[in-house]
Chain A
Amino acid sequence: MKQQLDADLSDPGLFDRGIPQQLFKELRAMDGLAWNPLPDEGEDAGFWSVGRFDDVAAVSRDPETYSSAMGHIQMYNIDDDALSARASMIDMDPPDHTRLRRLVNPGFIPKVLRTYTEVVRERAGRLLDDMLADGGGDWVDRISKPIPIGIICDMLGVPEKDRDLMIEMTDYLVAGTSAEPLDPTAYGNTTPLRLLPFNSPAAHGLREYARRLGDERRANPKDDLVSQLVSMEINGERLTDEEFTNFFRLLIFAGNETTRTAMSHLAIHMADHPGQFEKIKTDAALLDTAVEEVVRYSSPILYFRRTATRETELGGTKIARGDRVVMWYASANFDETRFEDAQTFDITRPRMPAHAGYGGGGVHTCLGAGLARIELKVLIEEILARNIRIEIDSEPEYVSTNFVNGVEVLNVKLTGDAKS
């Protein structure tokens, strides 16, 4: 009999009030891994839950044993045809993965990312001033949603007029992981939902959009990432059309909901611990550690899954070939053996040991971590520059999914000195 937790971690309802800390504590305390049955998928179906930091890192760093390509990277299974229809670098293993990373990496090196600092500052400043003028509102809607999607669109070269459509489509994408039913024909979709990422028709909409934008930039290149992606050649290799549209879609999703989540949690922490953030004004070095702590504590992506390519063992538990292995970053980030007072939010926590917010290490480590760091850093700076006080107006509403630690609505009151 495989040992189990007393709860079903595949149930989105468990995450309705944030990370289920108590459950994860129990998971980390178990001797081996916990088996989580998925009775809807069959009698023997289920996945292993990995909760301790070191175990998560061991899985994450060993793509030969724990594959991203064989099986899905979310906990539920999908058919093989659906898998291949969706493939972007995040669901690949080396060497396919290596090739794609090589082709897109140049857009994400620190030297390039730094050039977005002032763009972020401009956007964040404007949005904060507007919101201050109103004395508050829904932080998610006014700040955490528009900044990350705005920056991704700036980076890719999506025209301003299409930004709302992008927000709508990404919202709709994540809705595919929640319980709500989706209109399969939205955005002119004709592909069966099961073949689409997140089973969402918005995935079709995004692909079509990417295709059009790519064609446009191929003909008339501009100063943006899309133009670069459709034209760049490295060692005689370039992205195929399909690889390009898949990557575009991956970026829009991966760079958006994640950073949004971190920004929403940032507001909650600033409301709860104003004194901690105040310290940054006199000790600038705390800005970087604050950003890391916000991501650790919010764990925007709760988990990713791998699939065992061979029989193996982890933490004393035997894993069979084909078993699903779920790395709970949201648990690893509170591992008391790695982080002192792990449950305490503390912006002075040293950068090392590093958290698993951007993944447990290894080749899939978040491509956009550098950008996310810049976005969070600048947002904090701009909040502090305006002496903004955030007060939570009503209990935050969480997105109903077990995949992102998203906040749906966060009503706040704001006071401070607008700059414009």
Chain B
Amino acid sequence: MNFTVSDVIVESEIITSFLLTPEAPLKRDFVPGEYLLFESSSDEGDPIRREYSISGVRDGDIRITIKREVAPEQDLPHGVMSTRFHDVVKKGDIVRAAGPMGAFKLDRTSDRPVVLLSGGVGLTPVVAMAHDLAGTSRQTIFIHACENGRVHALGAEMRQLAREHENIVNHFLYRAPTAEDVKGRDYNTEGMISRKLIEDLTPGCDCDFYLCGPGPFMTAMYDMLHDMGVATDRIAYEFFGPATVLRPKTAEPNKAPTPAEGGPTVAFKQSGVQVAWDPAEQNLLEFAEEHGIMVDFSCRAGSCDTCKTRVLKGDVSYPIEPFERPGPGYALLCCCVPDGDLELDI
């Protein structure tokens, strides 16, 4: 459907909002958290599609809020769609989008308190959620982390929302405040979101958590909540990029054990990993898996040959006798351990 750009509002040095008037009423009301899928075409004529979360509404117009994505290195192009919005699109223009859509939605049937956690431009969908929650009986804690006041978007709007509604509480964190940023006025905490901060802000809270932000932020937040014992079905999240599954950290992170004096080293050539052999491991298959290298396997007991791997350097020994030992130059990883330094072709 076509939308007319009815207003353009600069929110910060790098973030700008666009108000859009739909040419016909939307097929249904949006649920806070949802986005529109914008379509355009590249200079070569290929379609480009990008999602932008709905950050609010004003007089029946829909608001989206877009960060200018600049090239990470000099010779690379800037972000296509965001640059176009920032540099080309102006009031009165027509843009095309589908939606509203998305699975990251405020659960309005829950009556639990809500914690909205965002990093950078990831605040857009949760700002829409905060507006929806304002004035309800659900305590809402809006925690937002960004670099500093120069890039902080929608700060004034959120402060006003909190002033007008008792159930909304803000907490802003600046990683690197500038000289103009005043603690207590512009932001509450210098640094990043910590477990203690969440625990202090939400004492004993059985809450619904909504997360949105850059990948590393999301992973850190998700792991932190998980460590705090928050059930995974209480955590909803949105990535502003290709969807990734967040899982709690499983075992301990893989620390390469310091080699026992003179202990063997195992090199996985194709994977570019070289680690000291851990004598506590049962076999090379599990050892590889511990270090994130997936070897094909089936039986794990020396009968199917699936994990047979070429040995480039060194020798192995077999504490577990397989059905049949592989020919020279190969090892059945599920049954063997290194016999001195080893290089494998995986």
Contact = CB atoms under 8 A, between A and B. Distances in A.
Contacts of B321: 352
Contacts of B102: 219
Interface residues of B, number: 30
Contact of A362 (B236, B296, B303, B320): B303
B299 A115 contact: no
B104 interface: yes
A111 B297 contact: no
A384 interface: no
Contact of B245 (A110, A112, A231): A231
Interface in B117-144: none
Given A98-B306, A365-B304, A114 B323 contact: no
Contacts of A109: 286, 289, 294
Given A109-B289, A363-B306, A223 B299 contact: no
Contact of B250 (A111, A227, A364): A111
Contacts, number: 83
Interface in A193-224: 216, 219-223
Contact of B304 (A61, A223, A370): A61
A105 B245 contact: no
Q: Secondary structure at chain A's binding surface: helix, strand, loop or mixed?
A: helix
Interface size class of A (residues with CB under 8 A): 20 to 34
A371 B74 CA distance: 50
B303 A98 contact: no
B251 A114 contact: yes
A364 B104 CA distance: 39
B221 to A, nearest CB: 13
Contacts of B245: 221-223, 227-228, 231
Contacts of B297: 101, 105
Nearest to B303: A361
A222 B232 contact: yes
B244 interface: yes
22 contacts: A61-B323, A101-B298, A105-B294, A110-B286, A111-B250, A111-B289, A216-B103, A220-B104, A222-B232, A223-B232, A223-B245, A223-B246, A223-B247, A223-B248, A227-B245, A352-B321, A354-B301, A361-B299, A362-B298, A362-B303, A363-B306, A365-B304
Interface string A386-411: 00000000000000000000000000
A106 interface: yes
Given A106-B294, A228-B247, A361-B301, 12 more contacts: A101-B297, A109-B294, A112-B250, A114-B251, A220-B236, A223-B232, A223-B245, A361-B303, A361-B304, A362-B303, A363-B298, A369-B300
A234 B293 CA distance: 12
Interface string B214-252: 000000000000000000110010000001111110110
A102 B296 contact: yes
A98 B308 CA distance: 13
A221 B300 contact: no
A389 to B, nearest CB: 34
A41 to B, nearest CB: 32
A327 to B, nearest CB: 13
A319 interface: no
A57 interface: yes
A167 B319 CA distance: 41
Contacts of A112: 250
Q: For B245, B286, B321, which residue has the most chain A Cβ atoms within 10 angstroms? A: B245
B251 A115 contact: yes
A115 B250 contact: yes
Nearest to B298: A363
Contact of A221 (B244, B289, B296, B298): B244
A328 B248 CA distance: 41
B290 interface: yes
Nearest to A354: B301
Contacts of B286: 109-111
